[in-house]
């Protein structure tokens, strides 16, 4: 009993004003400054890089003392990092989180209407933005390919000028830009003529007043052309046709011809493998996801493809490879799934012959084979248009809905494209009004009927 009473008297003698003793009391959330002889509260932005028990804590500067260091401006990545319990997250994860915040913050900015004569009553079917300039090439249901020069920012979007670029015999089904100087586009075909593929060089800045159909290379097919894809490495172009894929290899060589690979079903969607330049992904009307290698002999290729057999219960409308083994595709029954091309697990409970890795719920479609579909540059978010005229955004990695649906729009959404900053480009995105030739903004373009809407972050 005597020892306990002595211990209590020692504790009572200690006070907050004299914590210099080795047994001084430490108050959670405060640190002691020996020079000022008082406790200070630890602020949220404090970094615990030193040992607080030894008194090696940086002293907070006085408010009346001026320093020569420049104020540090917090970036979006740094703010995200401070909110995390684990501050050592990967750069890829931070970049993905920042993209989700970017998509959540998208707001309507403005609309650009078609001003080209004889095309005002025709709906836009597809469009493509030049990778290094503010030029937009679009096709419509009348078979015209138009060129639109624009200026976009977070506050406004304006049309600099627009003009017809080329004319085809039927509806434009796809537009692709290869590199920075080559454009390809396809037409659907009609009762008088089958679909065509046209390849031509993009005009220079001084040649915008001319229509360059004379310099185009026309390739007549024997079928309806639903879609197309091309390689950014090798010289080949693939067309999705009726019950086969038409492949044009070495198209820069005069006299190049098509080779056909049978699929026994119409090919609505195509995409090239970015890790194996000779491979093609094909989405068919009967719901099969096929993989072909153009190096194989077409006569020896199976209509079921050269890879694993993947099948869903409805026609595949769009395809996009999002990593080495994963392919994202949507169906005409409102499905949106992520497939692993190595996966051959059988599904006995439904009409699907294989199980997808991940399913995304909320997409609406039952009749349209051509809908707006786009994936951002880091393959983390997909934007897809539904039959109900809404655009929905999903996280590819988790399957969660990133934001509330955009819409409803007055007409069907035929195409979507993200417009993002490219660090590898040799130009910079300048502030508003600095340079009309390079100010293309950062956001998302949506084609609704005859108009183009621009959504950006305010």
Closest CA to 170 of 139, 207, 215: 139
Query: How many C-beta atoms lie closer than 10 Å to residue 356's C-beta?
Result: 23
Q: Residue 443's Cα: distance from chain center in Å?
A: 10
Rounded Cα distance, 298 and 345, in Å: 28
Secondary element (H or E) of residue 166: strand 157-167
Rounded Cα distance, 27 and 41, in Å: 10
Which SS3 state, helix, strand or coil, does residue 9 take? Answer: helix
Closest CA to 39 of 63, 66, 8, 15: 15
First to last CA, the chain: 72
Q: Structure tokens of 330?
A: 């949507």
Taking a C-beta distance cutoff of 8 angstroms, is the pair 316, 284 a contact?
yes
Query: How many C-beta atoms lie closer than 10 Å to residue 218's C-beta?
Result: 11
Rounded Cα distance, 157 and 129, in Å: 15
Secondary element (H or E) of residue 92: helix 91-104
pTM: 0.75
Please name the residue that has the structure tokens 């597809």. 126
Query: How many C-beta atoms lie closer than 10 Å to residue 101's C-beta?
Result: 14
Closest CA to 365 of 380, 386, 395, 339: 386
Closest CA to 110 of 161, 159, 146: 159
* Buried-state track 274-294, b at ≥16 Cβ within 10 A, e below 16: eeeebbbbbbbbebbbbbbeb
Q: Structure tokens of 182?
A: 């080559």
Taking a C-beta distance cutoff of 8 angstroms, is the pair 319, 313 a contact?
no
Tens-of-pLDDT digits for all 458 residues of the chain? 444 444 444 434 444 444 444 445 677 777 778 877 888 777 765 544 444 444 444 444 444 444 444 444 445 445 444 444 444 456 666 667 788 899 999 999 999 987 776 565 689 999 999 988 889 999 999 999 999 999 999 999 999 989 999 999 899 999 999 988 899 999 999 888 899 999 998 877 545 555 444 457 889 888 999 999 999 888 999 999 999 999 999 888 888 889 999 999 999 999 999 888 899 999 999 999 999 998 888 777 788 887 778 888 899 999 999 988 899 999 999 999 999 888 655 555 555 567 888 999 999 998 888 889 999 988 999 999 999 999 999 999 889 999 999 999 999 999 999 998 754 443 333 444 444 444 678 899 999 999 999 999 98
């Amino acid at each position: 009993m005597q020892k306990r009473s002595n211990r209590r008297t020692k504790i009572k003698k200690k006070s907050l004003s004299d914590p210099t003793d080795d047994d001084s009391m430490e108050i959670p959330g405060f640190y002691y400054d020996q020079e000022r002889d008082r406790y200070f509260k630890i602020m949220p932005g404090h970094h615990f890089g030193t040992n607080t028990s030894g008194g090696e804590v940086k002293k907070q500067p006085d408010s009346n003392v001026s320093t020569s260091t420049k104020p540090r401006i917090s970036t979006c990545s740094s703010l995200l990092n401070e909110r995390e319990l684990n501050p050592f997250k990967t750069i890829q994860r931070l970049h993905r989180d920042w993209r989700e915040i970017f998509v959540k913050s998208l707001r309507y900015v403005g609309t650009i209407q078609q001003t080209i004569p004889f095309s005002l009553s025709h709906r836009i079917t597809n469009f493509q933005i030049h990778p290094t300039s503010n030029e937009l090439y679009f096709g419509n249901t009348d078979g015209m390919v138009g060129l639109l020069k624009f200026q976009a920012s977070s506050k406004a979007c304006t049309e600099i000028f627009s003009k017809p670029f080329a004319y085809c015999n039927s509806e434009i089904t796809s537009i692709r830009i290869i590199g920075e100087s080559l454009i390809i586009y396809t037409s659907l075909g009609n009762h008088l003529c089958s679909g065509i593929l046209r390849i031509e060089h993009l005009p220079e800045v001084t040649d915008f007043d001319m229509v360059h159909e004379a310099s185009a290379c026309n390739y007549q097919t024997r079928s309806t052309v639903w879609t197309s894809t091309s390689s950014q490495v090798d010289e080949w172009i693939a067309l999705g046709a009726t019950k086969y894929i038409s492949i044009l290899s070495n198209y820069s060589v005069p006299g190049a011809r098509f080779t056909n690979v049978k699929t026994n079903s119409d090919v609505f969607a195509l995409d090239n493998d970015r890790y194996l330049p000779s491979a093609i992904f094909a989405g068919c009307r009967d719901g099969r996801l096929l993989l072909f290698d153009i190096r194989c002999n077409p006569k020896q290729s199976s209509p079921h493809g050269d890879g694993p057999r993947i099948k869903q219960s409805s026609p595949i409308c769009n395809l996009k490879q999002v990593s080495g083994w994963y392919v994202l595709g949507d169906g005409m029954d409102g499905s949106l799934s992520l497939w692993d091309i190595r996966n051959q697990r059988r599904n006995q409970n439904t009409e699907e012959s294989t199980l997808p890795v991940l399913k995304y719920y909320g997409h609406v479609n039952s009749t349209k084979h051509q809908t707006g579909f786009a994936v951002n540059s880091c393959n983390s978010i997909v934007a897809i248009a539904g039959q109900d005229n809404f655009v929905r955004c999903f996280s590819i990695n988790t399957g969660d809905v990133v934001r509330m649906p955009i819409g409803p729009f007055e007409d069907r959404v035929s195409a979507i494209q993200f417009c993002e900053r490219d660090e590898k480009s040799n130009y910079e995105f300048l502030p508003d009004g600095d340079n009309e030739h390079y100010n293309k903004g950062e956001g998302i373009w949506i084609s609704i009927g005859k108009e183009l809407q621009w959504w950006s972050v305010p």
